Each structure stands twice: as C-alpha cells, then as structure tokens.
Amino acid sequence: MTKKRKKREAIECIQVRPPACPKCGCTDRTNTDGVKKRDIAGKTVDGRLFTQVKWSYCNCRKCNQRYAFVSYLAPASAPAEKTD
C-alpha cells in the first residue's frame, strides 16, 4: 500500500546543544523563546543529518540561569525524497 506524501513535513528535533543547563546540568527548560531558524544542513556529532538549525533562549527550571541553546532539526519522516 502506498500513501501519498503530504506536502507539509513534520519536523523533528534530533539534537539539542547544550542538552542541559551549563550551570547546574538540569534539563528542564522554561520560558523558551525561539530566536532564529536557518536552513543549514549538516551532521550532528552522532552522525544524524539535519536540515535546519534553530537558536533559542530559555531559563533553567532549577537555577533560573538564562542560556542559549541550539536545536538541530530534520524532517521527521524518512529520507530519500525527489525534488522536482
């Protein structure tokens, strides 16, 4: 059975750096603000391909440290897609 692909692609965050608060190591974030998103393709340190990079700010839930983090985004559904 073949399904037609929908135009809108789900985007998945495959990696976040730093993964936790640089001060206390807590991974809970609050007040997350997206800053900018760019179409940048590349590979994460564990070898996954990403197609977009997003910079954001957040507050640590534990120590309230404000810090920036980078999210690496990739289409959630699989790879090989033709571009017409």
Question: Which residues in this chain contact Zn ion in the complex, by CB under 5 A?
Answer: 21, 23-24, 26, 60, 62-63, 65
d(CA 27, CA 7): 33
Q: How far is the CB of 63 from Zn ion (least distance, A)?
A: 3
User: Rounded CA gap, 57 and 69, in Å?
Assistant: 6
Q: And the tokens for 24?
A: 């206390």
Rounded to the nearest 10 degrees, how much is the dihedral formed by the CA atoms of 55, 56, 57, 60?
-110
> Smallest gap, in angstroms, from Cβ of residue 19 to Zn ion?
12
C-beta of 25 vs 42, nearer to Zn ion: 25
Q: How far is the CB of 17 from Zn ion (least distance, A)?
A: 16
If the CB atoms of residues 26 and 49 are measured against Zn ion, the closer one turns out to be: 26
